[in-house]
Structure 1
Amino acid sequence: MQAIVLIRHAAAEHHINGLTGGWTDSALTEQGCRQAALLAERLHQELNLRPISLYTSDLRRARETAAILGSVCGIEPLATPDLRELNNGLAAGKTEAQAQKLALARTKSFLDWQHYPGAETWRQLYIRSSRFMRELAAQADRGDTLPVLVAHSGSIKTIVAWWIDVDIASLEKLHVSFDISPASITVLRRNKWQESTIERLNDTAHLYAAGMAAPFKI
């Protein structure tokens, strides 16, 4: 797999109504639909008719984003639970205040901490994401389409870690992370030396040009 495009779903209702994220199955907001349309137009222009394989998390906010992309790019998205966000267990569908009452005390490392009853740990999310990516890589090596994945902030972070072969435990030790904004584009590519590179990370230029993204914070 020489390249892959990662897209975070556009702005969703839980972003504005005080609900938790994770497996809360929220729809796109009106702003999110506009973000997805701008994203779709940019992707269509940059791909320049290059054939793609479009995969999406099966959570509603991701499926709706992928549907807008698919309609512009002329392809039907394939939904899979493997690309879902970190499972927040009993906190799904709850307000932030309700979730706080369910939160479990941290007794282990951050990677192995189960935040809520029935939730995944970050290590479990990494295992789920990397398993999907290995299977996708095997398929991609047999085809000529560019994989485009519509996912979530957490799942994209773990996919990037898998791509550059970073031990996820080391990220905790280094206190390293990065932002993945709604409707952003991240591009992973192997260069001419077959090194796994991050060509773009959290690219929201299409939103900024339309006045829908904040300028640099200095």
Structure 2
Amino acid sequence: MLLATLYLVRHAKPASTYGDSVDPGLDETGRTQAVQAAAELKQLPHPLPVYTSPLRRCRETALPLAETWGVQPIVFPEIGEIPSPPLGLKERQEWLRQAMASDWAHLQSSAPTGSPDYGAWRESLLAAVRAMAGDAVIFSHFIAINVVIGAAKQSEQVISFRPDHASITAIEVRDGTIAIKALGREVGSGEASVMLGR
């Protein structure tokens, strides 16, 4: 029995990158992308609950859709940004670069002292997604979306899909099993640096 169809939306383009700011909002391009995503999603048969990461870039991406549907976005910490190790902004950016090229076991084993338990973070995110009891739209992040798609593909790579800003990926959750319904638009091969804005 199908429990839920979930629309995972990567946040729109932020005003600064992961190496420059802890919690940026959207830039002008990002605000336009958020409106475009809302226009696409409002074609669904009826309004759905809207969930969002606590971070500004996701909350601001969710706003046009929430206003269109007249709903209040629900902050959903479990689908937030991958937690950072205890590093400065520039060092975090290099850590992220390396993390994105590795698998989850290596990410944990090579994490700097004082880092979070990335396995536990990943499992908490997947448990929250599997527990969704109805259709919903979820505004999240590049790596968080990859956690979900990786589970559907049974992949241990940190990155198995490259969702572009404001792209919409649909998954189905059935009895705790995650299946891909439709992958969203991906980042072009010449735009890899954009991903560091997550």
Asked if these proteins are the same fold (TM beyond 0.5), I'd say yes
Q: Which runs of 5+ in 2 are unaligned?
A: 192-198
Cα root mean square deviation, aligned: 3.5
- Paired position in structure 1 for 2:12: 10
Change (3 A) 1:86 1:71: same
Tell whether 2:146 aligns with 1:157. yes
> Counterpart amino acid of 2:15?
E
Query: What's the secondary structure of 1:159's corresponding residue?
Result: helix
Identity of aligned residues (%): 25
- Paired position in structure 2 for 1:27: 25
The offset of 1:26, in angstroms, is 1.1
Q: Out of 162, 176, 190, which is 1:179 matched to? A: 162
1:68-87 CA-to-partner distances (Å, cap 9, x unmatched) read 22112221110121111111
- Residues 1-218 of structure 1: matches in 2 within 5 Å? 1-15=3-17, 18-19=19-20, 24-45=22-43, 47-48=44-45, 50-91=46-87, 94-96=88-90, 100=94, 109-113=105-109, 115-136=111-132, 139-140=133-134, 146-162=135-151, 164=152, 166=154, 170-172=155-157, 177-189=160-172, 196-203=178-185
Larger Rg: 1
Q: How many residues align?
A: 182
Tell me if structure 2 keeps the 8 A contact 1:189–1:198. Answer: yes
Tell me if structure 1 keeps the 8 A contact 2:6–2:172. Answer: yes
> Counterpart amino acid of 1:133?
V
The offset of 1:53, in angstroms, is 1.2
CA distance in 2, matches of 1:199, 1:122: 26
CA distance in 2, matches of 1:32, 1:117: 35
CA distance in 1, matches of 2:117, 2:131: 22
TM-score of the pair, normalised by structure 1: 0.69
> Counterpart amino acid of 1:36?
A
> Counterpart amino acid of 2:82?
L
Higher relative contact order (Cα pairs below 8 Å, separated by 6+ residues)? 2
CA distance in 2, matches of 1:27, 1:77: 16
